[in-house]
Amino acid sequence: MGDLTRSSCDFVSLATQGARGLHPYQPGKPSDELERELGISNIVKLASNENPLGPSPIALEEIRNELSQLTRYPDGNGFKLKEALASRLKVQSSQLTLGNGSNDILDLIARAYAELGREVVFSQYAFAVYPIATQAVNATAVVTPALNWGHDLSAMLSAITDRTSLIFIANPNNPTGTVLSKAEVVEFLSQVPESVIVVLDEAYIEYSTDPDFPNGVSLLSDFPNLIVTRTFSKAWGLASLRVGYAISNEEIADVLNRVRHPFNVNSLALAAALGSLRDEDYLKKSITTNEHGMKQLTDAFDRLDYEYIPSKGNFVCFDTKGSGMEVYEAMLQQGVIVRPVANYGMPNHLRVSIGLPEENARFIEVLESLSHG
Ligand SMILES: *Cc1c(COP(=O)(O)O)cnc(C)c1O
C-alpha cells in the first residue's frame, strides 16, 4: 500500500501546472500538538484569529436539537439560514451562496471565474487563500505591491488587463489588519470594468464599528460585479463548523451555486449559524472583548517598545525587531502559540490574535520576558 517504488509515474509531475506550484496553506499550530510536545497543559493559542469566548449557548442548543437527524443529508439549499441572513442583510435569498467556510466561497469564485489564461489580481500581504485559489485553477496571479502594509488600490487598478477576470480584496486585511475607507472602495469600484469581478472579503467586518467603514452589501446595488464574502468563523465564533457565505447579484449567485458541491454546509453548521444569529449579545460581547484585548496588547507593545501595524481585525502584527521565527519558537517553549507570517513575506513580524484578558496577559508576560532575555 502506498508503495511508490513500484510505480514508473511521477504523480507530482502528472498534476496540473497550478497544483504542482502550490504550497499548502499553513495553519496555526494546534494546542494539542504543543501540549504533547511540551507535556504541559496550560497552552494559550492566539494563532488563528479564533473567537476566544467559545460558541454562543444558543448555537450549542441548536446543535443538540439537530443531532438526531444526523443520518439525513443537510438542506442543500440552506433555506432557513439564507432566509435569516437575507432578512438581516436586507437582500434576497437568491443573492446568497453558502460555503463550507468562506474559504470554500473564495474557491467557488475562482472555479467559476478564473482559469488558465485569466489573471487574478490581489495585493502583497493579502490573505494566503487568494494565491491558492488562483493557482488551483491554473490562473495567473498578479500580485500588486502593498502600500503601508495594505492594499494599494491605484496599483491594483493599473494591474487590470484584458485578461483580468477577478480581483480579491480583504477589508480588513489578514494578516496585516489594514482597512480601506468607504470612499476609497467606492472610488476603486467605479473605475474597475464591469466585466471584472471584485471580491470584497469581509471576514472581520463585525469588528469594525466605525460608521465610515465600508459595508460591501450596501454597495451591491451600484456595482453588479461585486461579491461580498463573510463568515461565521470569527466574530460569530464557529470556526470549527465551517460556515461562510457570499452576497452578490442573483446571476453571480446562480453561477456560484452551480459549481458548489450539493451539501457543502453540514446540518450542525447550518443549525448553529442560525442559532448564533439570534444571539445578538454574543456578537456584542465578541466585539467588546476584542476592543479591550486590542488595547491591552497595543498598550503593551507601546510600553515594551515594539512597533505594530494598527489593526481593525481580531489580531495584530508586531515587529519582533529580529527574526519572527525565533521569537515564535521561544514563545512556544513557554506555551504561547502565535502565528509566524514569514510565508507572507513578513519575516520580522508575528501575528497575535486577541484572546481573553488572561490569555493576552500571558502573551504579554512571555513577550516581556523575552525582551529582557
Ligand atoms: C479567516 C478568514 C476568512 C474566513 O475563513 P473561513 O473559511 O470562513 O473560516 C476569510 N478571509 C480572511 C481574510 C480571513 O482572515
Mutate to test the pocket of ligand 1, among 49, 231, 236, 316 (most ligand atoms within 8 A of CB): 231
**At 373, is the pLDDT very low, low, confident or very high (cuts 50, 70, 90)?**
low
| Secondary structure of residue 165 in the 3-state scheme | strand
| Secondary structure of residue 339 in the 3-state scheme | strand
| Torsional sign, CA 45, 49, 53, 54 | negative
Query: What would the pLDDT profile of 171-186 be if each residue is shown by its tens digit?
Result: 999 999 999 999 999 9
At residue 186, the pLDDT reads: 98
At residue 92, the pLDDT reads: 98
Query: What would the pLDDT profile of 268-300 be if each residue is shown by its tens digit?
Result: 999 999 999 999 999 999 999 999 999 999 999
Ligand 1 atom having least distance to the Cα of 233: 9
Residue 51: CA count within 13 A, CB half-sphere = 26
Query: If you measure from the C-alpha of residue 231 to the centroid of ligand 1, how many angstroms do you get, rounded to a whole number?
Result: 7
Ligand 1 atom having least distance to the Cα of 244: 8
Q: Is 127 in the pocket of ligand 1 (CB under 6 A)?
A: yes
Q: Is 293 in the pocket of ligand 1 (CB under 6 A)?
A: no
Rounded to whole angstroms, how far apart are CA atoms 205 and 215? 8
Q: Is 178 in the pocket of ligand 1 (CB under 6 A)?
A: no
**Per-position DSSP letters for 254-305, written without gaps between them:** HHHHHHS-TT-S-HHHHHHHHHHHT-HHHHHHHHHHHHHHHHHHHHHHHHHT
CATH 3.20.20.100 fits 27-54+281-371, yes or no: no
Ligand 1 atom having least distance to the Cα of 49: 1
Domain ranges for the chain: 27-54+281-371, 57-277
Q: Is 128 in the pocket of ligand 1 (CB under 6 A)?
A: no
First to last CA, the chain: 50
Rounded to whole angstroms, how far apart are CA atoms 228 and 246? 6
Mutate to test the pocket of ligand 1, among 103, 109, 169, 236 (most ligand atoms within 8 A of CB): 103
Query: If you measure from the C-alpha of residue 129 to the centroid of ligand 1, how many angstroms do you get, rounded to a whole number?
Result: 8
- Residue at 13: amino acid letter: S
Query: If you measure from the C-alpha of residue 233 to the centroid of ligand 1, how many angstroms do you get, rounded to a whole number?
Result: 7
- Is 169:201 a contact under the CB 8 Å cutoff? yes
Query: What would the pLDDT profile of 27-86 be if each residue is shown by its tens digit?
Result: 888 888 888 888 888 899 999 999 999 999 999 999 999 999 999 999 999 999 999 999
Ligand 1 atom having least distance to the Cα of 234: 1
Please tell me if the domain spanning 27-54+281-371 has the same topology as the one spanning 57-277. Answer: no
At residue 21, the pLDDT reads: 85
Q: What residue's CA is closest to ligand 1, atom 2? A: 203
Mutate to test the pocket of ligand 1, among 129, 176, 179 (most ligand atoms within 8 A of CB): 129
Omega of the bond leading into 27 within 30 degrees of 0 (cis) = no
At residue 280, the pLDDT reads: 97
Rounded to whole angstroms, how far apart are CA atoms 216 and 171? 9
Question: What number of residues does the chain have?
Answer: 373
Q: Is 203 in the pocket of ligand 1 (CB under 6 A)?
A: yes
Q: Is 100 in the pocket of ligand 1 (CB under 6 A)?
A: no
Query: What would the pLDDT profile of 148-165 be if each residue is shown by its tens digit?
Result: 999 999 999 999 999 999
Q: Is 175 in the pocket of ligand 1 (CB under 6 A)?
A: no
Q: What is the mean pLDDT of the chain?
A: 95
Query: If you measure from the C-alpha of residue 103 to the centroid of ligand 1, how many angstroms do you get, rounded to a whole number?
Result: 6
Fold of the domain spanning 57-277: Aspartate Aminotransferase; domain 2 (3.40.640)
Q: Is 102 in the pocket of ligand 1 (CB under 6 A)?
A: yes
Residues in CB range of 316: below 8 A, 6 or more apart: 177, 294, 297, 298, 301, 308, 309, 310, 351, 352, 354
Task: Count other Cβ atoms within 10 Å, centred on residue 183.
Answer: 10
Rounded to whole angstroms, how far apart are CA atoms 75 and 62? 15
Query: If you measure from the C-alpha of residue 235 to the centroid of ligand 1, how many angstroms do you get, rounded to a whole number?
Result: 11
- The three cell numbers locating residue 96: 446568497
Nearest alpha carbon to residue 246 among 140, 102, 35, 126: 102
Q: What residue's CA is closest to ligand 1, atom 10? A: 203
Residues in CB range of 230: below 8 A, 6 or more apart: 102, 202, 203, 205, 244, 245, 246, 247
Query: If you measure from the C-alpha of residue 234 to the centroid of ligand 1, how many angstroms do you get, rounded to a whole number?
Result: 8
